Amino acid sequence: MGDENPIRTLGDYSKPSHEGYRNTIELPEGNNVVPLRSDTIRLVQNGCSFHGLRSEDPNQHLKDFLKLVDSLDLDGENRERIRLRLFHFSQRGQASNWLKRLPTGSISTWEDLATRFLAQFFPPGRTQNSKMIS
């Protein structure tokens, strides 16, 4: 029988490893997986970046993101998959860090992603604060 917990040296811990890495977003199965083109990724990065700053409107970001991504002549079968694949390219700074900190595989649908995104960047207290200011 093999040792389930082999002894590891300090050198073992200092080597880069990809073991155990999985994305936060678990993509749905799709029959026609279309590779992402670099110009499409750049279009998302330049066309609708979100940094997670209080001055940014997360609702507007989702609208802009969907407008841009849904304009990419996609068939309905892969639309959700493409949205999920491209969303992290629109995130910068605090927003990108938030997405990376979510548990592995914790998002599997666009609805999950949009709900979590808005809960993080447009919490209920923000609405109450904006009503007091006006």
Query: 5-26: per-residue pLDDT in tens?
Result: 677 777 776 776 655 556 788 7
The answer to whether position 52 is within a domain reads: yes
Asked whether the beta carbons of 126 and 52 are under 8 A apart, the reply is no
Is 85 part of any domain?
yes
3-state SS class at 107: strand
We report the CATH number of the domain holding residue 86 as 1.10.1200
Q: List, for residues 45-83, the tens digit of each pLDDT value.
A: 999 999 999 999 999 999 999 999 988 876 666 788 889
**Tokens 């066309």, residue located:** 47
Q: Residue 50 pairs with which residues in a beta bridge?
A: 91
Q: Per the domain annotation, does 41 fall within a domain?
A: yes
Where in the sequence is the domain holding 96, given as residue range(s)? Answer: 36-124
Residue at 68 is within a domain? yes
Give pTM, 2 decimals. 0.73
Does the residue 43 lie in any domain? yes
How many domains does the structure of the chain reveal? 1
Does any domain span residue 134? no
**57 and 13 Cβ atoms separated by less than 8 Å:** no
The tokens of 78 are what?
């892969």
Helical axes 58-70 vs 79-87, angle rounded to 10°: 130
Amino acid at 80: E
Residue 2 lies in a domain: no
